[in-house]
Chain A
C-alpha cells in the first residue's frame, strides 16, 4: 500500500480566510513533505518534516504554516493568502533506506486551491 490521502480535494477561500489542508499516510513513513505545483510546472518543495520535526523550510511566506501532529498526519494552515497562491498543493511521504524503506517519495492526489 502506497497511499497518501489529502483533504479537501478542492478549496476556494478569500484573502481574509483561515483554512487548513490535511494529509495522512499509514505506511509508517517518517518523512513528510508539502509541495506547491502551478500549471505546466514541476512541483516546488515547500516544507519537509523528518521524524515529526521541521527539517527544511524553503523560504515559504509565513502565511503558510505547517504542522505535524504525529507521524501519520501533516497539516498546512493557510491564512491571509494571495490570489497568486492559487495552485495544486501536494503532500508526499517517504521512508529512508536505513529504516528499511526505498527513499521513494509517494504523493497524494493534491488539494486544488483557489484564492479569490
Chain B
C-alpha cells in the first residue's frame, strides 16, 4: 500500500508559467513533508519542506501548500524555468527527528519548454 502518491508521472509546462506538482498521503501520523528535485544519476536535492502546523511555506520561486484535511500537498514553481526540468519527489515522515524514515512518492517528471 503506497502511503505517499504522486498521481501524475509527468507534467509539461511552458517557460514562465506556473508548475503545480501534487502529492497525496494516507498516513495520519505524517508530520513533516518535503520536496526533492532529482536529475538523472544524481542524488536528490532538497527543495523545500513544511511541517503539519503550517499550511504554506515559501522559498523564492517555490511554494509548498499543505491541506491536512484532504491529506494533500502541492508544490508551486513560479515562474518555471527550463533548468527546473527534473524529477520531483515528495516525501513524508512522522516527525523530523534523526533516524526517522522518509516515505517517498513515485515522482513526477517535470519538463519546462523554452
Residues of A within 8 A of B (CB): 2, 4, 6, 29-31, 40-43, 45, 48-51, 55-56, 88, 90, 92, 94-99, 101-110, 112
Chain B 47-85, CB-CB to A under 8 Å as 1, else 0, gives 001000000000000000000000000000000000000
Shortest A28–chain B CB gap in Å is 11
Determine which of B45, B89, B98 lies in contact with A30 in the assembled complex, contact meaning CB atoms within 8 Å: B98
Residues of B within 8 A of A (CB): 32, 34, 36, 41-46, 49, 89, 93, 95-102, 104-107
**Residues in chain B near residue A95, CB distance under 8 A:** 98
Q: Is the CB of A31 within 8 A of B43?
A: no
The residue on B at minimum CB distance from A2 is: B46
The CA of A106 and the CA of B102, in the complex, are separated in Å by: 12
Q: Is the CB of B101 within 8 A of A112?
A: no
Q: Is the CB of B96 within 8 A of A104?
A: yes
**Residues in chain A near residue B101, CB distance under 8 A:** 45, 48, 56
Determine which of B43, B49, B96 lies in contact with A96 in the assembled complex, contact meaning CB atoms within 8 Å: B96
Shortest B53–chain A CB gap in Å is 12
Q: Is the CB of B46 within 8 A of A50?
A: no
Determine which of B89, B95, B99 lies in contact with A48 in the assembled complex, contact meaning CB atoms within 8 Å: B99
CB < 8 Å A-B pair total? 77
Q: A94-B100, A99-B98 are in contact. List 15 more A-B contacts (CB 8 A).
A: A2-B46, A42-B89, A42-B104, A45-B102, A49-B99, A51-B98, A55-B99, A88-B41, A94-B98, A95-B98, A98-B97, A103-B98, A104-B96, A107-B44, A110-B41
14 intermolecular pairs with C-beta atoms under 8 Å apart: A31-B99, A43-B89, A45-B101, A48-B99, A49-B99, A50-B98, A51-B98, A96-B96, A99-B98, A103-B100, A104-B96, A105-B46, A106-B46, A107-B46
The CA of A97 and the CA of B42, in the complex, are separated in Å by: 27
The CA of A23 and the CA of B49, in the complex, are separated in Å by: 24
The CA of A29 and the CA of B106, in the complex, are separated in Å by: 27
**Residues in chain B near residue A88, CB distance under 8 A:** 41
The 9 closest A-B pairs by CB, nearest first: A103-B96, A50-B99, A31-B98, A42-B104, A107-B43, A96-B98, A96-B97, A31-B99, A55-B99
